[in-house]
Amino acid sequence: MRLKFTKMHGLGNDFVVIDAISQRVLLDEKRVRAIADRRFGVGCDQILLVEIPSSPDVDFRYRIFNADGSEVENCGNGARCFAKFVTDRKLTGRSSIRVETANGKMTLHLQNNGEVTVDMGIPVLNPEHIPFTAAEQATHYPLEHNGIQYTIGAVSMGNPHAVLTVGSTETAEVETIGAAIETHPRFPKRVNVGFMEVIHRGEINLRVFERGAGETLACGTGACAAVVAGCLQNLLDSNVKVNLPGGSLTIQWQGPDTPVLMTGPATTVYHGQIRL
Ligand SMILES: N[C@@H](CCC[C@H](N)C(=O)O)C(=O)O
């Protein structure tokens, strides 16, 4: 099978984007891993598929696979790249694009300056729906691993996130603590782990150890989850600049029961073809 693809990134969180409308695409875990392999394949954090939607009230189906082969519910940086991809390939002429994901619907707005604002939906805070094991919903939770007590915020942006507040993202042990919390038994579907340093109420530094991909240069849903967790803990205001290793996003959230808005760039690197 030969697959045409486009290599893209959102602040260094990189993607192989595949148009599955104009070509037949059969992906399984082995093929996803082969494409995502940085030495033997194209290399990426996630693969994004553009498909025909199942309902007429949306424009596309947006599917996401992590580099480890798992299919997941959401990807924020990917959503911005998705909007640029379908626009550049003239699959749509709309500047507001509705997509369905494995976990709901989202709207992607192309801005005149080339950036994309994504309405990421209302964050889910009920532990059962994150999913996260906890006696009751709280703004933060104790989490024990190997005799060490962590304090985390727990949020779903369609996909699950744990957010730790740290003194400095430079010295945070992202690889070791991230890997340990990713597979913590209280997160039955595993979890993305964010390390947030609050600079002031309108700006944070953030590093994210992503479920199924390891640490990435940026995570859009992670940025949203960190701002939600920070607001709930009264550390942040409603408009926050999030500095990730690959660059900055603007995240806006007015509080519970309102959607999170994420604004940032989307970049095309090259077009290619791979034989599987
Ligand atoms: N890079 C993403 C998130 C991709 C999915 C995530 N690793 C998961 O397993 O939920 C983003 O920008 O949001």
CA pair distance 79, 91, nearest whole angstrom: 15
Rg (CA), the chain: 18
**ipTM of predicted complex:** 0.99
- In whole angstroms, what is the distance from residue 96 CA to residue 83 CA? 9
pLDDT, position 1 = 85
For ligand 1, atom 8, the nearest C-alpha belongs to 211
pTM for the whole structure: 0.98
Q: What is the pLDDT of residue 46?
A: 98
Q: What gap in Å lies between CA 252 and CA 224, rounded to an integer?
A: 8
Report pLDDT for 120: 98
Tokens in use for 192?
A: 């993305």
Question: Do 217 and 250 touch, CB atoms closer than 8 A?
Answer: no
Tokens 């939607």 identify what position? 53
Residue nearest to atom 1 of ligand 1 (CA): 219
* pLDDT at 245 (0 to 100): 98
Task: Please state whether beta strands 60-66 and 96-101 pair in parallel, antiparallel, or not at all (unpaired).
Answer: parallel
> Which of 44, 81, 219, 231 is flagged as catalytic?
219
Question: Are 262 and 120 spatial neighbours (Cβ–Cβ below 8 Å)?
Answer: yes
Distance between Cα 221 and ligand 1 center (Å): 6
Instruction: Determine the distance separating the centroid of ligand 1 and the alpha carbon of 54, expressed in angstroms.
Output: 23
List ligand 1's pocket residues with C-beta within 6 A: 13, 45-46, 66, 72, 75-78, 159, 192, 210-213, 216, 219-222
From first to last of its 276 residues, what are the pLDDT tens digits of the chain? Answer: 899 999 999 999 999 999 999 999 999 999 999 999 999 999 999 999 999 999 999 999 999 999 999 999 999 999 999 999 999 999 999 999 999 999 899 999 999 999 999 999 999 999 999 999 999 999 999 999 999 999 999 999 999 999 999 999 999 999 999 999 999 999 999 999 999 999 999 999 999 999 999 999 999 999 999 999 999 999 999 999 999 999 999 999 999 999 999 999 999 999 999 998
User: Is 205 annotated as contributing to ligand binding?
Assistant: no
Please list the residues that pair with 272 across neighbouring strands: 5
Is-contact 109 95, C-beta < 8 A?
A: yes
Q: Would you say 33 and 68 are in contact if contact means Cβ atoms under 8 Å apart?
A: yes
Q: Is 75 a catalytic residue?
A: yes
Q: Calculate helix-pair angle for 76-88, 220-232, nearest 10 degrees.
A: 140
- With a CB cutoff of 8 Å and minimum separation 6, the contacts of 219 are 13, 76, 77, 192, 194, 206, 208, 210, 244
Which atom of ligand 1 lies nearest, measured to the CA of 210?
A: 7
| Catalytic choice (44, 75, 224, 231) | 75
Q: How far apart are CA 195 and CA 117, in angstroms?
A: 23
Q: 69-86 b/e with 16+ CB inside 10 Å = b?
A: beebbbbbbbbbbbbbbb
Residue 131: cis peptide before it, omega within 30 degrees of 0: yes
Q: What 3-state DSSP class applies to 80?
A: helix
Instruction: Judge whether 192 is annotated as a binding position.
Output: yes
Cα–Cα nearest to 58, from 102, 116, 97, 104: 97
Closest residue CA from atom 9 of ligand 1: 211
Q: Which of 71, 189, 210 to mutate to test the pocket of ligand 1 (most atoms within 8 A of CB)?
A: 210
Structure tokens belonging to residue 144 = 């024990």
Furthest C-alpha separation in the chain: 55
Question: Residue 132 in contact with residue 185, Cβ under 8 Å?
Answer: no
219 included as an active-site residue: yes
